[in-house]
Homo-oligomer: A and B are copies of this chain.
Amino acid sequence: MSAGEDQLIGWLRRRLQRLGSDLLGDDAALLEERADWAISVDQQIEGVHFPPGLDPGVAGRRLVSVCLSDLAASGAEPAYGFLTVALPRRYDAKRLLTGVLTACRRYGVTLAGGDTASAPRGVSLTMTVLGRRRPRCRWLRRSHGRPGDGLWLGGPVGESALGRHLLAAGASFDGRSVTLPRRHRAPERWLRYGRRAVRRHLDPRPQLELGGTLARRRRVAAVDISDGLAIDLHRLCRESGVGADLEREAIPVSGGLEYWASALEIDPDQLMLAGGEDYVLLFTLPPRGRPADAASRRIGTLTERPGVRLGAGDEAVLLPPRGWDHLAKDRT
């Protein structure tokens, strides 16, 4: 640890003390709180998970949100976070930490420890989060699905991947407003959808409230859509030992997805089924169950027969884990 890193930790600690939470004094954070814990860890690497040059505050917020999405999928209530950062020398570390602290405060996370290092090459961020099991609640588990259960999605999919494509095409986000690439001239309505997609990609919101509501029920399977609807559904099915029938038309997509997919020459089904990073919950409910929230949509049914089928009757095709591109390849 360099003198600069010690200074940075001093700065962070004074900020945490002002918030009334200083757990940074020892080699380890010491938690004397009797609870059942859900623990998850995620990393964000510049050039892999977010575009190089992204505003450090946005990168910090994104790290926290992505990590908390795993707690949402467990039904847990966020409690503590541990942060490690490896940063190039001239990186604005305070801006990054301010982003992390802002997101922590928003979701009720106490930053309880971490580690800093200088990185010769690029930004690398890792976060570990602990969430409590809520009172009178159960864990959501991938293995809780049963044949006949309804399959639900907590929000539209594909929008985040669209945002990723727009960023690759030159869009940018400074933490407040999105600028789209100049060559995309379109009616304001479509531009608005495009800007929302970029924001959704860089500043996703973990569905903690939905997870908490579902955790009050007796038996809910859940997973968050991080790698894509197809592969995450396959994972849920594998852990539950079931298959699934998926209704193509029932899958919620955000406004403008078709328009932008066409403008960028991407298959919209590819965005929807394999895009990933949507951070909405995919969950199951017993056959007649309905979630309390208005945004969730039923998109299919779990089946005894293994495999994930897309479409009905003779039209149905097996959806491989990797989504539409692999499927398309398999069909030709």
Q: Tell me the nearest residue of chain B to A35, going by C-beta.
A: B34
List which A53-73 residues lie within 8 A (CB) of chain B.
69-71, 73
Alpha-carbon distance A143/B48, docked complex (angstroms)? 41
Alpha-carbon distance A206/B43, docked complex (angstroms)? 26
Binds B, one of A110-118, A168-176, A196-204, A303-311: A110-118
Chain B residues contacting A287 (CB-CB under 8 Å) are none
User: Across the interface, do A113 and B39 meet the contact criterion of CB distance under 8 Å?
Assistant: yes
Binds B, one of A101-109, A123-131, A186-194, A265-273: A123-131
CB distance from A215 to the nearest CB of B (A): 12
Alpha-carbon distance A3/B222, docked complex (angstroms)? 22
Chain B residues contacting A39 (CB-CB under 8 Å) are 28-29, 31, 80, 82, 112-113, 128, 130
User: Across the interface, do A141 and B36 meet the contact criterion of CB distance under 8 Å?
Assistant: no
Alpha-carbon distance A31/B131, docked complex (angstroms)? 10
A227 interfacial by beta-carbon distance below 8 Å: yes
Report the count of interface residues on A (CB-CB < 8 A): 64
Q: Which of B37, B117, B139 contacts A45 (CB 8 A)?
A: B117
A95 interfacial by beta-carbon distance below 8 Å: no
Chain B residues contacting A321 (CB-CB under 8 Å) are 6
Chain B residues contacting A1 (CB-CB under 8 Å) are 226-227, 231
Q: Which of B34, B43, B74, B118 contacts A115 (CB 8 A)?
A: B43
Alpha-carbon distance A117/B113, docked complex (angstroms)? 23
Give 10 pairs: A residue, B residue, CB < 8 Å, sorted on A: A1-B226, A6-B231, A26-B139, A27-B73, A28-B39, A30-B36, A41-B84, A45-B86, A47-B120, A48-B86
A-B complex: 3 closest residue pairs judged by Cβ atoms: A28-B40, A121-B121, A28-B38
Q: Which residues of A contact B (CB under 8 A)?
A: 1, 3, 6, 25-32, 34, 36-43, 45, 47-49, 69-71, 73-74, 76, 80, 82-84, 86, 112-115, 117-122, 124, 126, 128, 130-131, 133, 139, 141-143, 222-224, 226-227, 231, 239, 321-322
